[in-house]
Chains A and B, each alone.
Chain A
């Protein structure tokens, strides 16, 4: 049985599954239900200065897949709308009752050193395990000079991080916004400021769709809407890419990462960990299905680790990082060609339609006497793009098979076809 426990920048947790700072961690009632369900930790919903934020009515909207499942989730909720005093009291009580679980407190304050100094002392007194700096909230708060407005300016990130390290002994995790051109810059700034870790991604600016009758986006507040923050399965690819950027960047290599973005099952979590994350945070999946999902997540991760012989999280953490590289380092002499297994083919012709219309005309169609069609690959035309494999609805019917070119590894920097190649 694999050991799922983690020690993330000194914060111990029985498993890597934390609930992200969001509505599910708004108050003691929710957090204790989460712990009872088995979550390893929580990041308490962001605290701010009193008076507490006030929220509007109608706050979420979603993007649905073909089966009506939520693939993307959008919210316009602000940070906690409860007073600082109540939150701090509840945090103290909860931590006391659940000493073995991680409890990190998310903070968002104006860019004034004294304000940060004051709140850090108060949080430290609760016994919380650490703080996460919310530099990512993309809606509402930036209009007030906080959240993403800070996260988008590396200098501010570094400055506030430094204050936090100066005025507290707690581990400091800097939560990064994806609403920026190059996520490595704020990550480097956080590291320069002394951050113990970064967490990413926060939500992405989003409008999930327009109601074409009302001519307004959702969620609709009295006929008007505003962009929100996007999360859920749809953002996972973006989050994974940004995680890999920071893990691969020589300047931030080794900086602990808490992975966030579309994690809904053990496989998603394992992917973030393989790209270097030391803990993962979940929100949307819990909001859609409830806290019990952590049970299958723990079980699944443990079973998979057992099957691979990984004894603990560190055994596979970051293993995919070296295999995530720059395009220019890919092997130009590698070749794959599609193969169609005629025994499995059901004759839908999607591969043919896609290749013929939009790719390289590498699939033939032969009409049979019974009205069905048979499809075949023209090896010489196939560039190995994978499109046919992607369109094929049958498992393992179209496979991309490696073809030996007889040539050794050669990347673009060495390729004679590259006018800017580096001479050996």
Chain B
């Protein structure tokens, strides 16, 4: 995918971009050459097993080493069409890079797979789209939600010869890549470039600002299309259940990140100047805390009711926060949101906690943190449209899926954050979309498809033909 940086930005946009430079700069060609030579090209490579999308990592690294970036990128896209953004946002430290056998050497220095994947996908050159669509099957599939799961599903379906209509509630595709990922992880409008790249395969029509339950219904989609894939993501956020939570300076982190990612001018943002408190322990909490520091908030305190070990943000993410001089307070639970007579947020009160017989208990110590804004990042929830008549089975707040991403409703598949499998990673969403597409294709086109048993690369004959084109 070519990175065209020649767009003309306004001064304000440039200032904003400067503030959110890439946290993980790309490798130079020479660095990539040396790094690629560090791969041992393992037998039964553990990195492939650790990759949710099952990219043949040693193979693409060998291609980089042999100066075949086109081949490298094709190997990546074959399993993961969002290989470009996954190279940037994947927590490789708990996936492929954690599995790298080089961790078992004294240096404990895994091959930098994420950066190599980025090198390949950034620099490979294709004459048009890398893959050619299979002969048309005449089938039409509806995909609801143009996030990573939906785009991956749509792309694979199109590759296999099907026509796809994607329905997106927002006015841009990309999902969390466009609206939710920390700005320093996906820079330079990367998400939209990737969307354009994916859609360039053809056969995919995106209907923007078209929301399930408002503009379309599952019932109607089932009627109009041969199959449906639901990838609606998460719409709601969890609450602290405290007084004053509706104060305008008690902010949902995901909403603020969305605003920040779409902002073209710093002035559009309400930036707390002196101090802010972030409540949460996941990657969103880290993302908002670091971005606030970059935006100029002097003191950012991230507070979590348990310890560092229990944080869902990886050690690597926690380190990023520390590098941004974010203060992390653990074993502290929020007690109250403090507001002055004029209704302005002045701080937050916490109580120290401890574990007793595995249960979290409040201790005697209480403390306050002064702040002018509070950012909540205590989790997101799915809010399935209430107006819908046909609703697939929901389990633990998410759409239940069975074999091959099938839901309880015949002909309706689902994937991504709205389903309950995995850790809501981009790469998992991509894989789920891909697997659903393959399953849908096999179901609809049973007569022309060859069933496969492998779960690692369930590629049917039509796909093989398309990929070798």
A371 to B104, CA, bound (A): 15
B34 interfacial contact with A, CB 8 Å: yes
A127 to B60, CA, bound (A): 62
7 pairs from A and B in contact (CB 8 Å cutoff): A66-B34, A66-B65, A346-B105, A347-B46, A371-B50, A373-B43, A373-B44
Point out which of B30, B37, B42 has the most chain A C-beta atoms below 10 A from its C-beta: B42
**B101 contact from A66, A346, A353, Cβ within 8 A:** A346
B40 interfacial contact with A, CB 8 Å: yes
Q: Say how far B243's CB is from chain A's closest CB, in angstroms.
A: 48
B102 interfacial contact with A, CB 8 Å: yes
**Which residues between 298 and 353 of chain A lie within 8 Å of chain B, taking CB atoms?**
346-350, 352-353
A408 interfacial contact with B, CB 8 Å: no
A404 interfacial contact with B, CB 8 Å: no
Q: How large is the interface on A (under 10, 10 to 19, 20 to 34, 35 or more residues)?
A: 10 to 19
**A372 contact from B37, B40, B46, Cβ within 8 A:** B46
**In the complex, which residues of chain B have a beta carbon less than 8 angstroms from the beta carbon of A372?**
46
Determine if A350 and B44 form an interchain contact, defined as CB atoms under 8 angstroms apart.
Answer: no
**In the complex, which residues of chain A have a beta carbon less than 8 angstroms from the beta carbon of B105?**
346, 393-394
Determine if B104 and A346 form an interchain contact, defined as CB atoms under 8 angstroms apart.
Answer: yes
B367 interfacial contact with A, CB 8 Å: no
A407 interfacial contact with B, CB 8 Å: no
**In the complex, which residues of chain B have a beta carbon less than 8 angstroms from the beta carbon of A348?**
40, 42-43, 101
**A350 contact from B40, B99, B102, Cβ within 8 A:** B40
**In the complex, which residues of chain B have a beta carbon less than 8 angstroms from the beta carbon of A51?**
none
Determine if A365 and B102 form an interchain contact, defined as CB atoms under 8 angstroms apart.
Answer: no
A68 interfacial contact with B, CB 8 Å: yes
A67 interfacial contact with B, CB 8 Å: yes
A371 to B44, CA, bound (A): 10
**In the complex, which residues of chain A have a beta carbon less than 8 angstroms from the beta carbon of B324?**
none
**B44 contact from A66, A67, A365, A393, Cβ within 8 A:** A365
Point out which of A348, A352, A373 has the most chain B C-beta atoms below 10 A from its C-beta: A348
**In the complex, which residues of chain B have a beta carbon less than 8 angstroms from the beta carbon of A394?**
105
**In the complex, which residues of chain A have a beta carbon less than 8 angstroms from the beta carbon of B49?**
371
* Chain B positions near chain A (C-beta within 8 angstroms): 30, 33-34, 37, 40-44, 46, 49-50, 65, 99, 101-102, 104-105
A394 to B104, CA, bound (A): 10
Q: Say how far B393's CB is from chain A's closest CB, in angstroms.
A: 32
Determine if B43 and A353 form an interchain contact, defined as CB atoms under 8 angstroms apart.
Answer: yes
**A67 contact from B37, B41, B99, Cβ within 8 A:** B37
CB-nearest residue of chain B to A356:
B43
Supposing A68-B33, A371-B49 touch, asked if A349 and B43 sit within 8 A by C-beta, the answer is: yes
**In the complex, which residues of chain B have a beta carbon less than 8 angstroms from the beta carbon of A373?**
43-44
Determine if A67 and B34 form an interchain contact, defined as CB atoms under 8 angstroms apart.
Answer: yes
CB-nearest residue of chain B to A349:
B43
Point out which of B43, B46, B50 has the most chain A C-beta atoms below 10 A from its C-beta: B43
**In the complex, which residues of chain A have a beta carbon less than 8 angstroms from the beta carbon of B101?**
346-348
Chain A 346-375 interface 0/1 with B at a Cβ cutoff of 8 Å (1 = within): 111110110000000000010000011100
Determine if A371 and B46 form an interchain contact, defined as CB atoms under 8 angstroms apart.
Answer: yes
Determine if B33 and A346 form an interchain contact, defined as CB atoms under 8 angstroms apart.
Answer: no
CB-nearest residue of chain B to A391:
B40
* Chain A positions near chain B (C-beta within 8 angstroms): 66-68, 346-350, 352-353, 365, 371-373, 393-394
CB-nearest residue of chain A to B49:
A371
Q: Say how far A339's CB is from chain B's closest CB, in angstroms.
A: 19
CB-nearest residue of chain B to A357:
B43
A423 to B50, CA, bound (A): 62
Q: Say how far B245's CB is from chain A's closest CB, in angstroms.
A: 44
A299 to B33, CA, bound (A): 33
Determine if B30 and A350 form an interchain contact, defined as CB atoms under 8 angstroms apart.
Answer: no
Determine if A68 and B34 form an interchain contact, defined as CB atoms under 8 angstroms apart.
Answer: yes
**In the complex, which residues of chain A have a beta carbon less than 8 angstroms from the beta carbon of B44?**
349, 365, 373
CB-nearest residue of chain A to B33:
A68
**B42 contact from A67, A350, A371, Cβ within 8 A:** A350
**In the complex, which residues of chain A have a beta carbon less than 8 angstroms from the beta carbon of B50?**
371
**In the complex, which residues of chain A have a beta carbon less than 8 angstroms from the beta carbon of B99?**
371
A353 to B43, CA, bound (A): 6
A352 to B104, CA, bound (A): 18
Determine if A350 and B104 form an interchain contact, defined as CB atoms under 8 angstroms apart.
Answer: no
A347 to B104, CA, bound (A): 9
Determine if B34 and A352 form an interchain contact, defined as CB atoms under 8 angstroms apart.
Answer: no
A67 to B41, CA, bound (A): 17
**In the complex, which residues of chain B have a beta carbon less than 8 angstroms from the beta carbon of A350?**
40-43
A263 to B439, CA, bound (A): 61
A346 to B65, CA, bound (A): 22
Point out which of B30, B40, B49, B99 has the most chain A C-beta atoms below 10 A from its C-beta: B40
Q: Say how far B36's CB is from chain A's closest CB, in angstroms.
A: 8
11 additional contacts, CB 8 Å, given A66-B37, A347-B101, A371-B49?
A: A67-B37, A346-B104, A348-B101, A349-B42, A350-B42, A350-B43, A353-B43, A371-B50, A372-B46, A393-B105, A394-B105
CB-nearest residue of chain B to A371:
B49
CB-nearest residue of chain B to A346:
B104
Point out which of B33, B101, B102, B105 has the most chain A C-beta atoms below 10 A from its C-beta: B101
**In the complex, which residues of chain B have a beta carbon less than 8 angstroms from the beta carbon of A353?**
43
A158 to B425, CA, bound (A): 77
**In the complex, which residues of chain B have a beta carbon less than 8 angstroms from the beta carbon of A346?**
101-102, 104-105
**In the complex, which residues of chain A have a beta carbon less than 8 angstroms from the beta carbon of B34?**
66-68
Q: Say how far B66's CB is from chain A's closest CB, in angstroms.
A: 11
Q: Say how far B34's CB is from chain A's closest CB, in angstroms.
A: 6
A82 to B42, CA, bound (A): 55
CB-nearest residue of chain B to A370:
B46
CB-nearest residue of chain B to A212:
B67
**In the complex, which residues of chain B have a beta carbon less than 8 angstroms from the beta carbon of A66?**
33-34, 37, 65
**In the complex, which residues of chain B have a beta carbon less than 8 angstroms from the beta carbon of A347?**
42, 46, 101, 104
A220 to B40, CA, bound (A): 35
Q: Say how far A179's CB is from chain B's closest CB, in angstroms.
A: 30
Q: Say how far A383's CB is from chain B's closest CB, in angstroms.
A: 20
A66 to B66, CA, bound (A): 10
A350 to B40, CA, bound (A): 8
CB-nearest residue of chain B to A373:
B44
In the complex, the 6 A-B pairs of residues with the closest C-beta atoms, listed nearest first:
A349-B43, A66-B37, A346-B104, A353-B43, A346-B101, A348-B40
**In the complex, which residues of chain A have a beta carbon less than 8 angstroms from the beta carbon of B41?**
350
A413 to B43, CA, bound (A): 41
Q: Say how far A311's CB is from chain B's closest CB, in angstroms.
A: 37
A54 to B225, CA, bound (A): 79
Determine if B46 and A352 form an interchain contact, defined as CB atoms under 8 angstroms apart.
Answer: no
A231 to B34, CA, bound (A): 24
**In the complex, which residues of chain A have a beta carbon less than 8 angstroms from the beta carbon of B42?**
347-350
**In the complex, which residues of chain B have a beta carbon less than 8 angstroms from the beta carbon of A371?**
46, 49-50, 99
Determine if B37 and A352 form an interchain contact, defined as CB atoms under 8 angstroms apart.
Answer: no
CB-nearest residue of chain B to A353:
B43
CB-nearest residue of chain B to A352:
B43
CB-nearest residue of chain B to A372:
B46
CB-nearest residue of chain A to B65:
A66
**In the complex, which residues of chain A have a beta carbon less than 8 angstroms from the beta carbon of B104?**
346-347
